[in-house]
Structure 1
C-alpha cells in the first residue's frame, strides 16, 4: 500500500463574475486539458488536476492507493487584497472538498488560507475542518516574511488546537543572488530550509508542541543545516551527550534535532543516498512519500526509491503508508488486500504472457 502525501489539484473553473485578479481556466482546443491563467503565469493543466476519475486511473497506473491533495502552489498568492484572497481560498477549498468526497477512501484534501492576514487565516481553519478537509497548505514564506515570525503564531496555534495538520510547500521568495532559472531548483531548497529553521529558531515549535507539520521536498537543505545547530546547542559532534561549557546556544529545552524530529518531511529528494540520510538522521517514522503529481511525473512505480533502501519491512510500511495517516491524524482507510493498482498490474501481466 502506498500513500502519496504531496499531490496537487486545480479547480476546473472559476466563477464568471470573479474579480479580475482571480485565476482563469480556459479550454484547450481538441484536448481535455485546460490552461491556467493567473497574472503572468500560463500553465497547461492536464485533466488529472481536476478530474477525479482520471486521477484514480493515474493512481492505478503508478501504484498509488491514497493521495493527499493540496492546491497547486501558484494559487497561494498572498499579494491579493484580503477579501479577494479569502474568496479565492474558499472557492478552491470548496472544489477540493467536492473532489475528495467522490472517494474518501482514496483522497484527503488540504485547504488554503489567506496568510497575508494571519488572524483571518486562523479563523478560516474552522471552515476548512467543517468542510471535511484534513488540513491546510501554506507557502514557505509570506511575501518574503518567515513563517516562524511571531505574527503567524496565532495561525499555527489554532491549527494545533483544531488538530489540523499543516503542509508547508516551498515557494520562491524575491532573491537577487541567484539567476531566475534557479528559482525552481536551488531557491526552493533554500526556502524549505529557512521555513523549517524559522519555526525552531522563532519559537513556534516550542509553543506548539502538538502541531503536525510537513515540509515539501524534505525542507530542502534543512536536514544538513540542523546538525550545525545541534553542535552549537550541545558543543559536541555526532549528537553525543552535550558538554555545556562548550555549547554556544543556551539549553532552553529540546535540542534542534529533537524539534526537527517532530516535523514530517516528504521524500522528494530524487536520490536514494539523500533519502537514506533522512532516514538515518530524522527517522523512518518522519518521512512521507511525495510526488508533486501531476505537476511533475511520478517515479514509476511510485515509491521506487524508497523501496531501494532495503529498509526493514515495518519501516518501509511506515514510509510508504502509515506515516501519512499519522501526520493526518486519522485512521487509514479500510481496504481489501487488493491495491487500487492491482487490476491494472494484473492486466499488464496478462498482456505479457498472452493472457495465460
Structure 2
C-alpha cells in the first residue's frame, strides 16, 4: 500500500460572475486539458487535475492506493483582497470536496483559507472540516511574513483545536539575491527551511503541542541546519547530553530536534542519500511519500527510490502509508 501525501488538483472552472481577480480555466482547442490563467501564470492543466475518473486511473497505473489532494500552489494568492481570497478559497474547497466524494477512500482532500486575514482564516477552518475535508494547505510565507509570526498563532491554535492537520507548501518570497529561474528550485528549498524554523523559533510548536504539520520537499534545507540549532541549544555535538553553561541559546523545554521530530516531511527529495539522512536524523516515523503529481510526474513505480533503500519492512510500511494516516488523524483502511 502507498499513500501519496503531496499531490495537487485544480478546479475545472470558476463561476461566470466571479471577481476579475479570480483565476480562469480556458478551454484548449482539440485538447481535453484546460489553460489556467491567473495573473502572470499560464499553465496547461491536464484532465487528471480536475477529473476524478482520470485521477483514479493514474493512481492505478502508478501503484498509488490513496492521494492527499491539495490545491495547486498558485491558487494560494494571499495578495488578493481578503473578501476575494475567502470567496476563492470557498470555491476551491467546494470543488475539492465534490471531486473527493467520487472515491473518498482514495481521494483525501485538503482545503485552503485566506491567510492574508488570519482571523478569517481561523474562522473558516470549521467550514473546511464540515465540508468533509481532512486538513488545510498553506504557503510557507504570507506576503513575505513568516508563518511563525505571532499574528498567525490563533490560526494554528484553532487548527489544533479542530484536529485539522496543516500541509505547508514552500512558495517563493520576493528576493533579488537569485534570478527568477531559481524560484522553483533554490528559493523553494530556502522557504521550506525558513517556514519550519519559524514555527519553532516563533513559539508556535511549543504553544500547539498537538498540532500536526507536514512540509513539502522535507522542508528544504531545514534538516541540514537542525544539528547546528541543536548545538546552539545544547552546547554539545551529536545529540550528547546538553551542557547549558556551554550553550549559546539554551532554553528550558524541548530542544530544536525534539520540536522538529513532531513535524512530518514528504520524501520528495530526489535522492536516496537524502532520504537516508532524513530517516537517520528525524526517524522513519516522520516521513511521508510525496510526488507533486500531476504538476510533476511520479517515479515509476511510485516510491521506487524509497524502496531501493532496503529498509526494514515495518519502517517502509510506516513511510509508504502508516505515517500518512497518523498525520491525517484518521484510522487507516483495513
Q: Same fold (TM over 0.5)?
A: yes
Look up the SS of the partner of 1:262 in the other structure: coil
Look up the SS of the partner of 2:4 in the other structure: strand
Task: Provide the residue aligned with 1:121 in structure 2.
Answer: 121
Structure 1 CA distance for aligned equivalents of residues 245 and 86 of structure 2? 51
Structure 1 CA distance for aligned equivalents of residues 122 and 237 of structure 2? 40
Shift of 1:245: 1.5
* Within-5 A mapping of 1:5-20: 5-20=5-20
Kindly name which structure, 1 or 2, has the bigger radius of gyration based on alpha carbons.
1
Greater than 2 Å deviation, 4+ residue runs: none
Look up the SS of the partner of 2:188 in the other structure: helix
Structure 1 CA distance for aligned equivalents of residues 276 and 48 of structure 2? 31
Task: Provide the residue aligned with 1:243 in structure 2.
Answer: 243
Structure 2 CA distance for aligned equivalents of residues 180 and 26 of structure 1? 26
* Within-5 A mapping of 1:258-273: 258-273=258-273
Task: Provide the residue aligned with 1:230 in structure 2.
Answer: 230
Determine whether 1:323 maps to 2:310. no
Q: Alpha-carbon deviations, 1:152-204, whole Å to 9, x = none?
A: 00100000000000000000000111111100000000000000000000000
Determine whether 1:44 maps to 2:44. yes
Structure 2 CA distance for aligned equivalents of residues 146 and 251 of structure 1? 22
Shift of 1:19: 0.3
**Aligned residue pairs: how many?**
334
Structure 2 CA distance for aligned equivalents of residues 211 and 291 of structure 1? 24
Look up the SS of the partner of 2:184 in the other structure: coil
Structure 2 CA distance for aligned equivalents of residues 89 and 251 of structure 1? 39
Shift of 1:277: 0.2
Determine whether 1:170 maps to 2:161. no
* Within-5 A mapping of 1:47-86: 47-86=47-86
Task: Provide the residue aligned with 1:187 in structure 2.
Answer: 187
Which segments of 5 or more consecutive residues in structure 2 lack a partner in the other structure? none
TM-align CA RMSD? 0.5
Look up the SS of the partner of 1:176 in the other structure: coil
Which segments of 5 or more consecutive residues in structure 1 lack a partner in the other structure? 335-356
Task: Provide the residue aligned with 2:157 in structure 1.
Answer: 157
TM-score (norm 2): 0.99
Structure 1 CA distance for aligned equivalents of residues 5 and 194 of structure 2? 21
